[in-house]
Structure 1
């Protein structure tokens, strides 16, 4: 995956990712995606290009654990979310919906940096700064679920969990 970094701070809760005021107006994920991160940066959706990354600090996805939050990020065509840590429910919802989430030290990443993320190798290459940042590896089964596009797609493909050879 390759894209630009869009940097946010610590404790980005799910209400910042997608405001509750939109949750009850529509279930259309493409419409909701137009409002991703709007409370923190009203122009965010217009700044991003497909494959770009949200980069944050500690505890990304905390709060109400809106199940739409990772889906909205995915529908905004964000390649992955990189953070120092994630709220556990958000982390699992992200994997289940097919949104890559990467735990790494984000201090060496600035807004606008060009990044390349390789989940299999376990590294983020900051191409702007010419540095490599190791990532916390995901278990093979989570990598497989991501590769298949999320838990539903994985189950449809295999009729359940495919664990052999993983």
Structure 2
């Protein structure tokens, strides 16, 4: 998957509790959650983000409580993907499950600046910042399939349909 946008630069240890303040955890619609992303620490974040923008952050992105609302809200806001030096394992898994592309690259995290043009190829791991190439570890093929299908729910539906079709073909 090829992603193109501008960098939304964040620091280290970006906490899910900061991404989505607790008073919004009862919201069920991801579009409603998206309206409140980072509102307590960066009230202009939602207005600054354009569809396809890519968050670039430091180490331990998504730490804190396992709030599924955080990747849901980021995706609904139009964030195309996230490149970070490292991710909390819970946030990493939730992002994959929801179809939000993420790659680890300490080099890109160190080099990127706010608003810079960025291109990310999740399949190959190639990243360009204003044309300067970087290489991240690409997503494994099965994770890439989940991302391409929009998340694990759709992947499971398609896998069950494929298996059902194969079973009926064997009769």
In the superposition, the TM-score normalised over structure 2's length comes to 0.88
- 2:160 aligns with 159
Q: Distance in 1 between matches of 2:80 and 2:70?
A: 14
Unpaired runs of 5+ in structure 2? 164-171
- 1:115 aligns with 118
Higher helix share: 2
- 2:88 aligns with 87
- 2:23 aligns with 21
Q: Distance in 2 between matches of 1:43 and 1:72?
A: 15
- 2:69 aligns with 68
- 2:8 aligns with 6
Alignment of 1:49 with 2:50, yes or no, is: yes
- Runs of 4 or more above 6 Å deviation: none
Q: Distance in 2 between matches of 1:161 and 1:16?
A: 40
Q: Distance in 2 between matches of 1:102 and 1:160?
A: 29
Question: What pairs up with 1:27-38 in 2 under 5 angstroms?
Answer: 27-38=28-39
- 1:126 aligns with 129
In angstroms, what is the RMSD of aligned CA positions? 1.5
- 2:101 aligns with 100
Q: Give the C-alpha shift of residue 67 in structure 1.
A: 1.4
Higher CA-based Rg: 2
Q: Give the C-alpha shift of residue 40 in structure 1.
A: 2.5
- 1:11-60, CA deviations, whole angstroms, 9 ceiling, x for partnerless residues? 00101111111113x21211110111222210111111100011110000
Describe the SS at the equivalent of 1:159.
helix
Number of residue pairs the alignment of both structures matches: 159
Unpaired runs of 5+ in structure 1? none
Q: Distance in 1 between matches of 2:68 and 2:140?
A: 22
